[in-house]
A and B are shown apart, each in its own frame.
Chain A
């Protein structure tokens, strides 16, 4: 059963004429990793915020359609209610640190304290979140003393400790170096394997192509495509609209390297397999 159901979602920010989201429809199953891509102003961040209710509860504006996350009608629930079932990680790791806690361990406890979680349960969840995100070694450090990658993992750990059914990430690696980016993707993929549904808006399409089960393509607030990476990146209209396509796919298209199902490789491993098959066939 789908843990996220979005149907004909339309949204306009206050004092704006253009729709920021226009007719978005998709579903996500537990354990699925969904990548959301598109050029700037495509509506990626707005969609992420709509999934936890910040749109429209925080930003106001006009909204239509339906968003159900983990059984909750997001439009009719408060952000605090949704936050217990769906966590959102933003792109700037620095501004996600509460600023009120002295250690990494206490920072993860911040949301749990406000949710009224009993102390023993709180400690269990914090230990689990720190272990999953590989932050045990820095648990006594100040959150502000962490590297960018560690800080972003702390933001994810803080959300994870709330034990949401859905994790939404809005360009979580945009300010991270390659090592930090890899840390975040590895952590998120591990969470998917544990059955958590993940929606990640991201510009790094090469990484998404490797990890995501499905890709949602947005352009000027409209949904252009939604499906497995190979099908989505094979579509000509995706690249034509200025949406980034994995470098491997671009190279495969230029070389005419096609997979057996008629699509182009989207990961390096797939491209290597096609290359080896072509060499063997000669």
Chain B
């Protein structure tokens, strides 16, 4: 089991260095707020989907899109019904009337949601967490912060396995863990108690083990892996920054 959503691959997006992909994500999120119009938001979504599509991860992105569809749908319903500027009825379902103005506002909000999500997925689906953390530490971030991020991602699945073992152990001693809400609540303490205690003990042991491996030493770390930045990364960064500049210009000069 793994917590990362990373999809392995060998596309041009996969080969890009993490910092370029981080830039693409940040610019994508920035453009989401710079381009509030329906046309601007749609254009941005198309661009982001093109990047995700060329990375071969649209199928994984689709699963995430479906997951947040209920939120996007809520935007449409709520704004379509109660947006203060509602004037022109667009759809009538019995006594319920959806208005054009509210539906457009809801659509813009939903677009914004999907744009933020898509920009983030460039980082999440196509960049391995360890590569991203290492790239950030290389540029001066604290190795301790990098360690915490990676250790959490790695250790949570093993904690879940431990919880499962504790659950089995408690069940074998007659504890009921299935059934009504009350039965489950009663089982919570006998399961969580050993899990939390065990985790605290393991944390101290791991802290000691890290200490004797020189983790708290002074000085900047070196890295086992060489950082590979493909030749086209510069072009990708320039295009990304140009897109941001175009967004700013379009917003302030052309009123997009």
Contacts and interface: CB of A to CB of B under 8 A. Distances in A.
Interface of A: 49, 52, 54, 58, 78-81, 83-84, 87-88, 90, 92, 94-96, 98-102, 105-106, 109-119, 122-123, 126, 144, 155, 158-159, 162
Interface in B203-234: 205-206, 208-224, 226
B130 interface: yes
Contact of A119 (B155, B215, B220, B226): B226
B206 A111 contact: no
Contacts of B205: 90, 92, 95-96
A144 B158 contact: yes
Instruction: Decide if the interface of chain A is mainly helix, strand, loop or mixed.
Output: helix
A194 B212 CA distance: 22
A116 B221 contact: yes
Contacts of A159: 212-213
Interface in B159-177: none
Contacts of A90: 205, 208-209
13 contacts: A52-B212, A78-B216, A80-B217, A83-B217, A90-B209, A94-B202, A100-B146, A110-B213, A111-B213, A114-B143, A116-B217, A144-B158, A159-B212
A82 B224 CA distance: 23
Contacts, number: 105
B141 interface: no
A96 B222 contact: no
A49 B209 CA distance: 11
Nearest to B152: A99
B217 A114 contact: yes
Contacts of A81: 217
A221 B209 CA distance: 23
B150 interface: yes
Query: Which of B150, B211, B214, B224 has most A Cβ within 10 Å?
Result: B214
A83 B206 CA distance: 15
B216 to A, nearest CB: 5
Contacts of A102: 130
A54 B207 CA distance: 11
A158 B213 contact: yes
Given A99-B155, A144-B158, A106 B212 contact: no
A11 B151 CA distance: 33
A139 to B, nearest CB: 12
B65 interface: no
